Structure 1
Amino acid sequence: MSGIREVEISDESIRLGQFLKLAGLAEDGVHARTLIEEGEVTVNGREETRRGKQLAPGDVIAVLGEKARLVSRSA
């Protein structure tokens, strides 16, 4: 089982689709949308189907076994 990577953002929040690209969990926006639509993405352990969901610092996003935690640089 892999550990949880921390991914920093400069703002207070970010949308799920943007975060997937930033964290390297999706290749691009189309890939992010496909992963979300196919139910491959969880936020804090719950399946998330909204690409525009606002994430907050501390949220843990998982895609196909890879996990990343959102960390705000301003926090």
Structure 2
Amino acid sequence: MKETILIDEDFITLGQLLKRVDIISSGGMAKHFLAENTVYLDDELENRRGKKLYPGSIVEIPGEGTYFIQKETSEDTSEETR
């Protein structure tokens, strides 16, 4: 399953992504999760919770899903308020 994650900042960290998609329940769990699970950032193994994810980044977590980071636009926010 591929899911688009909209961000309104310039970047989010890998730990923030894990929390946002409900893989972990707190930021403190990120280090443990990354030590025990395989995570790919743009097809390369990644285990740093503070790794910055920019628009265009693709995070793949086997067994969980694939996440595409995209910058939120004004059109995205106007659709949410309807």
Shift of 1:53: 0.6
Write 1 or 2 for the structure with the bigger share of helix: 2
Shift of 1:30: 3.6
Mapping of residues 20-59 of structure 1, within 5 Å? 20-59=18-57
Paired residue for 1:62?
A: 60
CA RMSD of aligned residues (A): 1.9
Q: How high is the TM-score relative to the length of structure 1?
A: 0.79
Structure 1 stretch displaced more, 28-37 or 14-23: 28-37
SS at match of 2:48: coil
Paired residue for 1:72?
A: 71
One-letter identity of the residue aligned with 2:51: K
Shift of 1:74: 4.4
Cα deviations by residue, 1:11-61 (Å, 9 ceiling, x for unpaired): 010111011111233333243222211242111111112111111001111
Greater Rg over alpha carbons, structure = 2
SS at match of 1:37: helix
Aligned length: 73
Write 1 or 2 for the structure with the bigger share of strand: 1
Paired residue for 2:77?
A: none
% same residue: 27
Unaligned 5+ runs, structure 2: 75-82
Shift of 1:4: 1.2
Paired residue for 2:79?
A: none
